[in-house]
Structure 1
Amino acid sequence: MNKVKKTAVFLINLGTPDSPSVPDVRKYLREFLMDRRVIDIPFLNRWFLINFIIAPFRAPKSAKVYKELWTDEGSPLLTYGIEAQKLLQEKLGENFQVFFGMRYQNPSIEKTVKEMEGKGFEKIVILPLFPQYASASTGSAVEKAMEYINKWEVIPEIKIVANFPNHPLFIKAFAEIGRKYIEKDRFDHIIFTYHGIPERQIKKSAVQGYCQLNDKCCSKYHSKNYYCYRAQCYETTRHLVKELGLAEGTYSVAFQSRLGKTPWIKPYTDDLIKELGEKGVKRVLAFSPSFVADCLETTIEGGVEYRDMFKEHGGEHWQLVESLNNHPIWIECMEDLVINN
């Protein structure tokens, strides 16, 4: 039997302000939006846009929303991340050491990589906590982690979990959380709402020009669209639909959180909500399967803002399915992703 290598497991999520205060939110926004993979425009244009327009004007508004999100323990994204780290450590045992870091703000990737250095790890498994690969999330997290690991004198074997949009345990965990609402209540329609990205980022990552940004090229998942973010979202949806036993015509896929005036991947969640309300749909269940932990985009945008919007357009009941957070099957999923890498 082969000896298990002494392995560091590096969980990485997006990030959160240190507090909901305006200065901390402004600091977070500047770091986040200055990332070339997030706003992929020339540096000087990006620097001017962020420092003179977005951060000064958006920070006070965002701070108010973060105060709604904040709990006694702090940011849910950070709280659930630390809890998942501990639970995964218990699962994996003594041959593994699990670390947790954020791409933006704290605990920083730089600090976490320094904690890993010099501990004699024979292998590192980098697990960005984004089910569907995108340059602005997984790509950015891996790039930053490698920036610091590359400075080590000894670089061990490194494995990267690039995506897991159809992992059976990921699907099972989300379906189990959603099923408790489906079995208890009646819904006219189900929405699978994913974080959006600009269309240009899809085109930049296309294999031989395959991606056409429509349902035809996303209807099947294969080598040419394996890293296409939109195709991965549709792949996740297909597996959730099958797991939940949903009938065609009872669900939709949409994309949220767009920023700026350039085209983002469609359909847009807010447009779909308005359309459903105006068609007489009264009761909607919403999943957010691009997030493994609850955060601003799920709890506030998906749970509060979309609920209010739905009711403004004739809807009666909007129910958000909470994210995976510390669900036991999600911890099993991470364990499997680590062991099989």
Structure 2
Amino acid sequence: MRYWHPFTEEAIEQIKQDGITKLVVLPLYPQFSISTSGSSLRLLESIFREDEYLVNMQHTVIPSWYQREGYIKAMANLTEKELQKFGCPEEVMIFFSAHGVPLAYVEEAGDPYKAEMEECVDLIMEELEKRGFTNPFTLAYQSRVGPVEWLRPYTDETIVELGQKGVKSLLAVPISFVSEHIETLEEIDVEYKELAFKSGIEKWGRVPALGCEDTFISDLADAVIESLPYVGAMAVSNLEARQSLVPLGSVEELLAAYDSKRRELPPPVIVWEWGWTRSAETWNGRAAMLAVLALLVLEVTTGQGILHQVGILPLFR
């Protein structure tokens, strides 16, 4: 993993210890983005170039796999199950919420993330329609940080707008996340749920992340097996093609196609991020309250401090 154990470097060391000579690189991001899969591939590229054992490692990369049948069916299965929990499933708005990326990545660097995300949502809805679900749906982007423009529409703003339009039942689908973490368990389950109720939405549901769902895991295994003939061979697949076998390529080829400028990327979003996102505001407020509490304890226990100096605290005795 990039930001927790086992780190990429640790996995590479294990690969070397095991004497592995061929690799299939499978980023666990369904859709490709310069800031996610691309960032991970950048790290691999630098490690490969600096290590004698790895420099000639035969490998192939599966850059994205959002269009695979097994993945689409797994997402539809989980969504259908949650829809059935509503009294009137046909009245539920399906709300796809994806992790956002800076707008400049898409408009200036040619990041395919937005196009792949929209196609992914369409494929899931097509699968649901085959099962008799013709619910209204929308897509928005969450987890933005910093002052730069990110992909719109934003999840928080869209939830408020849906409430104003009279939507009463909402089913959130974390479309770009394959496991549960702070952005699903806190941002969606707590912050966005609370915002939805404040905005007039009366019924709320959330599709769980894929985790170890059988259809999903089997499909990932199939993707790896299908890619084995390409290990060590020049991939000839069109990167823009949408085939049953995901487009393959080497680390260098994919970075040249998707991320040729190698721009500096923003740091990973962490729970203590200081800024103007809804999550950041929550933690900024909690930090401020702790600071005020610590100040008051200091004043009361020592009789010294800023409040005593300006003569405020004695007034309350």
TM-score higher than 0.5: yes
Q: Given the alignment, which residue of 119, 125, 131 partners 1:235?
A: 119
**More strand per residue: 1 or 2?**
1
CA contact (8 A) 1:205 1:228 kept: no
* Residues 1:149 and 2:48 aligned together: yes
Q: Given the alignment, which residue of 115, 134, 140 partners 2:39?
A: 140
* Residues 1:309 and 2:213 aligned together: no
Counterpart Cα distance in 2 of 1:328 and 1:203: 37
Residue 204 of structure 1: how far off its partner (Å): 3.1
Partner of 1:181: 82
Unpaired runs of at least 5, structure 2: 228-317
Counterpart Cα distance in 2 of 1:325 and 1:188: 24
TM-score using structure 2 length:
0.66
Partner of 1:244: 128
Residue 113 of structure 1: how far off its partner (Å): 0.2
Q: Given the alignment, which residue of 62, 66, 69 partners 1:168?
A: 69
CA contact (8 A) 2:93 2:137 kept: yes
* Residues 1:192 and 2:96 aligned together: yes
CA-to-aligned-CA distance 1:139-162 (integer Å, 9 cap, x gap): 111111232233133532111110
**Structure showing greater Rg:** 2
Partner of 1:339: 225
Aligned pairs (5 A) from 1:249-288: 250-288=136-174
* Residues 1:325 and 2:225 aligned together: no
Residue 247 of structure 1: how far off its partner (Å): 3.0
CA-to-aligned-CA distance 1:171-214 (integer Å, 9 cap, x gap): 111111111112232343111111001101112332xxxxxxxx
TM-score using structure 1 length:
0.62
* Residues 1:128 and 2:32 aligned together: no
Residue identity matched to 2:73: K
CA contact (8 A) 2:141 2:154 kept: yes
CA-to-aligned-CA distance 1:225-245 (integer Å, 9 cap, x gap): xx5110011011000001111
Residue 318 of structure 1: how far off its partner (Å): 1.4
Partner of 2:105: 201
Q: Report SS of the residue matched to 1:323.
A: coil
Residue 122 of structure 1: how far off its partner (Å): 3.3
Counterpart Cα distance in 1 of 2:178 and 2:70: 12
CA contact (8 A) 2:102 2:150 kept: yes
Counterpart Cα distance in 2 of 1:111 and 1:188: 45
Give the length in aligned residue pairs.
219
Residue identity matched to 2:58: E
Q: Report SS of the residue matched to 1:117.
A: helix
Q: Given the alignment, which residue of 5, 8, 13 partners 1:114?
A: 13
Counterpart Cα distance in 2 of 1:192 and 1:109: 30
Q: Report SS of the residue matched to 2:35.
A: helix
Residue 118 of structure 1: how far off its partner (Å): 4.5
Residue identity matched to 1:177: L
Ranges of 4+ aligned residues in structure 1 off by more than 4 Å = none
Counterpart Cα distance in 2 of 1:229 and 1:153: 33
Counterpart Cα distance in 1 of 2:204 and 2:23: 42
